């Protein structure tokens, strides 16, 4: 029998150590995200919470390529369309207080629709569930300079000029950004204050989200990351001032961190700003038949809902975000009280990263 020399044994031992799989869920997550986001490039902040326990929370890469400020779990990112969940919850607060109903027609709040019949047909619930049938006729590409600074009112104004609908309200799904500009304006009309102030006072503060903010005219300059895209091998800033509709905050104006989004999830679970039954209703599919043959998910009041199906067989409630160089996802698994949230300041394949995290959760027993 051939004997192994000491150097050979040492080499085998080192190789075994290098190839050993991560011993924990947090180790596996760290390995994956470290490989995806080098420390000298735009990156990500990631958090996984089960119950009230933070299983993983870490930042990767740079928040600002110029100052070299590093990303941490407290770094603020633009949430893109995750912002819609805050607007939807604002509407539901007013509904629970009896100040509006989800069956209210738009004609109650907007008297200047070109076609009044459309305003009478479309109801708040249709805006919430992306089933209004209102075509998005904003000339964003043709008038991109104007839309760099256009606010909610200016983004919803073209929608009021529609002469016809794509379909009868409630009959089909068609994702709509300006629907949420309209909902933000309804909050202002009913609450009698800027919708940003209403959300801050009624949702952010009760949820212990003191550093989170909402675009209100100027871009927040302090304590926020910048979004980037790579062109010609060089990262270029691509956020407020470079990307149209950034100022239309009703559909994508909330800025937050993964740590404070964990507080948001806990506030929804615990009924901090809305009754738990109202939250639960908002996370159930609206008109399920609309999606039965077209999409893997269904839609509630802003939330996307995946009903239990292999391989996890667990209901998922989530929203993603994409605006300028920012990407984001917020995914909850209610039956296990799990939150998986990640914020990015460069374009990434969000679905792939969501799936990888869920795969590691299953591998390490987090989903049990």
29-36 LR contacts (CB < 8 Å, sep 24+): 29/56, 29/58, 29/357, 29/360, 30/56, 30/58, 32/356, 32/360, 33/58, 33/60, 34/60, 36/60, 36/348, 36/353
Check residue 12 and give its pLDDT: 42
Other Cβ atoms less than 10 A from the Cβ of 158: the count is: 16
| Residue 238, domain CATH | 3.40.710.10
Q: List C-alpha distances in Å: 164 to 64, 113, 140, 153, 223.
A: 45, 11, 20, 20, 44
- Domain with 33, as residue range(s), is 26-363
Does residue 39 lie within any of the structural domains? yes
Does residue 51 lie within any of the structural domains? yes
Bridge partners of residue 231, in order along the sequence:
234
Does residue 334 lie within any of the structural domains? yes
Check residue 220 and give its pLDDT: 67
Summarised one tens digit per residue, pLDDT across range 229-282 is 999 999 999 987 777 777 888 999 999 999 999 999 999 999 999 999 999 999
Does residue 8 lie within any of the structural domains? no
Does residue 174 lie within any of the structural domains? yes
Contact 205, 265 (CB under 8 A): no
Contact 228, 236 (CB under 8 A): yes
Check residue 348 and give its pLDDT: 98
Rounded to 10 degrees, what is the CA torsion of 66, 72, 78, 81?
140
Check residue 197 and give its pLDDT: 98
Bridge partners of residue 179, in order along the sequence:
none
Residue 317: CA count within 13 A, CB half-sphere: 23
Residue 296: CA count within 13 A, CB half-sphere: 8
Does residue 273 lie within any of the structural domains? yes
Instruction: Pick out the chain residues at pLDDT < 50.
Output: 1-18, 292
Check residue 8 and give its pLDDT: 44
Number of folded domains that form the chain: 1
The whole-angstrom separation of Cα 145 and Cα 141 is 9
Does residue 19 lie within any of the structural domains? no
Which is nearest to 79 in space by CA: 209, 201, 267? 209
């Amino acid at each position: 029998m051939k004997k192994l020399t000491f150097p050979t044994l040492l080499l085998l031992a080192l190789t075994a150590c290098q190839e050993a799989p991560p011993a924990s869920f947090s180790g596996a997550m760290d390995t994956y995200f470290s490989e995806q986001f080098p420390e000298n490039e735009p990156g990500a902040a990631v958090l996984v919470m089960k119950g009230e326990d933070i299983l993983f929370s870490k930042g990767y890469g740079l928040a600002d390529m110029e100052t070299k400020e590093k990303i941490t779990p407290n770094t603020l990112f633009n949430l893109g369309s995750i912002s819609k969940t805050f607007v939807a919850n604002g509407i539901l607060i007013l509904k629970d207080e009896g100040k509006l109903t989800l069956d209210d027609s738009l004609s109650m709040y907007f008297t200047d629709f070109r076609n009044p019949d459309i305003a009478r047909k479309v109801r708040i619930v249709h805006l919430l569930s992306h089933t209004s049938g209102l075509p998005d006729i904003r000339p964003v590409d043709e008038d991109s300079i104007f839309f760099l600074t256009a606010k909610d009112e200016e983004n919803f104004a073209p929608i009021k000029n529609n002469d016809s609908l794509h379909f009868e309200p409630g009959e089909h799904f068609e994702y709509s950004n300006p629907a949420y500009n309209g909902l933000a304006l309804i909050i202002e009309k009913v609450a009698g204050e800027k919708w940003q102030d209403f959300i801050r006072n009624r949702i952010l503060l009760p949820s212990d989200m003191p550093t989170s903010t909402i675009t209100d005219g100027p871009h927040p300059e302090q304590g926020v990351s910048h979004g980037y895209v790579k062109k010609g091998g060089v990262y270029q800033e691509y956020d407020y001032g470079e990307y149209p509709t950034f100022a239309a905050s009703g559909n994508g104006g909330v800025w937050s961190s993964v740590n404070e989004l964990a507080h948001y999830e806990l506030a929804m679970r615990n009924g901090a700003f809305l009754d738990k039954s109202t939250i639960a209703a908002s996370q159930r599919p609206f008109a399920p038949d609309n999606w039965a043959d077209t999409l893997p998910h269904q839609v509630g009041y802003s939330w996307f809902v995946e009903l239990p199906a292999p391989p996890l067989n667990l209901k998922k409630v989530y929203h993603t975000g994409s605006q300028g160089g920012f990407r984001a996802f917020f995914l909850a698994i209610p039956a296990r009280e799990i939150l998986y949230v990640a914020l990015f300041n460069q374009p990434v394949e969000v679905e792939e990263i969501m799936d990888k995290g869920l795969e590691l959760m299953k591998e390490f027993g987090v989903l049990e």
